[in-house]
Amino acid sequence: MQLVRAHVLVCGGTGCTSSGSKQVQEFLTKELEKHKLEQEIKIVETGCHGFCEMGPLVIVYPEGTFYVRVTPEDVPEIVEEHLLKGRIVNRLLYKAPATEEQIPAYKEITFYKKQLRVALRNCGSINPENIQEYIARGGYEGLEKVLFEMTPEQVIDEIKRSGLRGRGGGGFPTGMKWEFCRRSPGDLKYLICNADEGDPGAFMDRSVLEGDPHTLIEGMAIGAYAIGCREGYIYVRAEYPLAIKRLKIAIAQAEELGLLGENILGSGFSFDLHIKEGAGAFVCGEETALMASIEGRRGMPRVRPPFPAQRGLWDKPSNINNVETFANVPVIIMRGADWFASMGTEKSKGTKVFALTGKVNNTGLVEVPMGITLREVIYEIGGGIVGGKQFKGVQIGGPSGGCIPNELIDTPIDYESLIAAGAMMGSGGLVVMDETTCMVDLARFFLNFTQAESCGKCTPCREGTKRMLEILTRICEGKGVPEDIDTLERLGRVIKGTALCGLGNTAPNPVLSTLRYFRHEYEAHILDKRCPAHACSALLVYTIDEEKCIGCGRCLKACPVGAISGEKKEPHKIDPEKCIKCGTCFEKCRQDAILRL
Ligand SMILES: Cc1cc2nc3c(=O)[nH]c(=O)nc-3n(C[C@H](O)[C@H](O)[C@H](O)COP(=O)(O)O)c2cc1C
Ligand code: FES
């Protein structure tokens, strides 16, 4: 085996690829050749590290030096300074937002320090297109162990004892679900992986698929053995081309090594895995709709029972789990149920991956132990609120999740606590909001999404969400009436209780939770015709304070519609008829002379 002196990891995740990591990698290859270093230094294209905002990322081992926002032009300096002379290129290091301190080591960066990577354990560390790298990290040992040392019942028992709950939203205990399907009568059963990931802004599952596809394959093979399935499907949206490409490569490699297909490792157990590309409708993530879609029918949910474990794909008993759920399985088998259950809270074990976005300094993908508080995630991992603004709340659980206000920032992240606070774990969206976010507008944004994605099969969801959206739009435009609040609450409750599937059952959550904690904002819009966050443009009025205006002309020059007039050194005026309320004058004025009412 050839020994190398250093590894240079170049992130090949979708985020870094879109900010130019492929070109960085090409330049790096050429530069290493130029210096005749290609035998000594190995380039590894990895999956996402989670900190996409700082991409393209380059990490040099053995030191673990973390370079951010690397451009092709930076490559010669990295090679000449770091790889030839052993000197760190300081200007490319990550800077802590609060202190501006440069942090060279990957593990010392606050974004990573409090994370605990179980599902993402290999993402960013291995080349996902090379099965040997997965095997070198202990990959497929879990599968080997179950096939030769454990009965299916023992596997189910181990998963049950670990306390693993589904990471796709509902949090149903995985071992129990496997047991139902195993006990269901019938020889032909299917195992399905839900990799639809329809939540806007979410990329938890995509990162596992792109960064560590073998983890999913191994988790599924273990699940198939436990339940007694010979065939499986991964339902992945067609908008994830890199994930599909890497899954195909991984399946082919696993088949070649006898880790998938007929008579796996000579054990007598066989499992075939297929990929089904979905067309990208949110409702297709709902399990009965997803199965209809695999069968080639329109992705519409149906009434349950019968549950998929009784009658699922092609009317056969079927088990469906999320990508992150499966990604936890091989580690549980190898490290044991007790190890897994030692992380998290009493009822929520292990870790959870979140897509941290919004008004927080460090956005990206984070994996944290269950039970960590929102404050730790926002202020320690996320580095606090952008521009030092006031924290207002978080929207957690995706489009059908709920809002948690700043008073509850010490809420632990676990299934029960989030539900008690009026939100839910969901699949892992975590949007941080500051004082400039209007909660009525936010509720409208999410309802607009679920309303557009409703398949229309049941009346409460089809008609009810439409009515709720109309009311919210009216309120944001300053045309709300006092009865609107009661109507929203009543409609929300009815839709939750009567809709056919989870989409309708949860669609009113953003509205109901904002009404619970931010009712005063609804009242301000309706009664005072005022948006307290100054976000709803229909309710804003811009004027100029004549006492403060020095007639510098900055606002006049910046106004895109010529709504501002005035002579130099004389107070200016805004024509309300022409003003489009874009706020440019407000941002440009250095005298605080623009008033936003
Ligand atoms: C409208 C809707 C969309 C959903 N989208 C997803 C999804 O994208 N991925 C997912 O794993 N689960 C999704 N779910 C939940 C699944 O229906 C199902 O509960 C889950 O895949 C089960 O896996 P788990 O037990 O491992 O969580 C969705 C549910 C609903 C109602
Ligand atoms: S894609 Fe590179 S860090 Fe996410």
Angle between helices 204-211 and 213-227 (to 10 degrees): 100
For 379-383, which contacts have Cβ atoms below 8 Å and span 24 or more sequence positions? 380/110, 380/113, 380/114, 381/110, 381/111, 381/113, 381/114, 381/115, 381/356, 382/111, 382/356, 382/432, 383/96, 383/97, 383/98, 383/110, 383/111
d(CA 65, CA 80): 15
Q: Give the Cα-Cα-Cα angle 522, 524, 527 (nearest 5 degrees).
A: 100
| Closest C-alpha to ligand 2, atom 3 | 52
List all residues 6 or more positions away from 583 whose beta carbon is below 8 Å from its beta carbon: 540, 542, 596
Closest-CA residue to 51 (of 83, 9, 79, 80): 9
Supply 151's token pair: 């009965």
User: What 8-state DSSP symbol labels residue 385?
Assistant: B
Residues recorded for the chain: 597
Which amino acids bring their CB within 6 angstroms of ligand 1? Answer: 166-170, 172, 194, 196-198, 282-283, 285-287, 320-322, 325, 427, 501-503
The 3-state DSSP class for residue 71 equals coil
Contact of 343 with 369, CB cutoff 8 Å = yes
Distance from the alpha carbon of residue 322 to the mean position of ligand 1, in angstroms: 7
Report which protein residue has its CA nearest ligand 1's atom 23: 321
What spacing in Å lies between the alpha carbon of 287 and ligand 1's midpoint?
6
- Ligand positioned closest to the Cα atom of 169: 1
Residue 283 CA, closest ligand 1 atom number: 1
Nearest 5°: phi and psi at 405? -80, 170
Question: What is this structure's pTM?
Answer: 0.94
pLDDT tens for each residue of the chain, 597 residues long: 567 899 999 999 999 999 999 999 999 999 999 999 999 999 999 999 999 999 999 999 999 999 999 999 999 999 999 999 999 999 999 998 778 899 999 889 989 999 999 999 999 999 999 999 999 999 999 999 999 999 999 999 999 999 999 999 889 999 999 999 999 999 999 999 999 998 888 999 999 999 999 999 999 999 999 999 999 999 999 999 999 999 999 999 999 999 999 999 999 999 999 999 998 899 999 999 999 999 999 999 999 999 999 999 999 999 999 999 999 999 999 999 999 999 999 999 999 999 999 999 999 999 999 999 999 999 999 999 999 999 999 999 999 899 999 999 999 999 999 999 999 998 899 999 999 999 999 999 999 999 999 999 999 999 999 999 999 999 999 999 999 999 999 999 999 999 999 999 999 999 999 999 999 999 999 999 999 999 998 999 999 999 999 999 999 999 999 999 999 999 999 999 999 988 999 999 999 999 988
Distance 520 CA to ligand 1 centre (A): 34
DSSP assigned state of 55: P
- DSSP secondary structure of 517-581: HHHHHHHHHHHS---TTS--GGG--EEE-TTT-----HHHHH-TT--EE--TTS--EE-TTT---
Protein residues whose CB sits closer than 6 Å to any atom of ligand 2: 11, 13-16, 48-52, 55, 57
Say how many CA atoms lie within 13 Å of 562 toward its Cβ.
Answer: 0
Separation of CA 160 and ligand 1 centre (Å): 20
Distance between Cα 133 and ligand 2 center (Å): 19
For residue 321, what are its two tokens?
Answer: 């789990």
Ligand in closest contact with the CA of 15 = 2
As beta bridge partners, residue 44 has 9
CA distance 192 to 315: 14
Rounded distance from Cα 312 to ligand 2 centre (Å): 36
Choose the residue to mutate in 199, 235, 287, 415 for probing ligand 1, maximizing ligand atoms within 8 Å of C-beta: 287
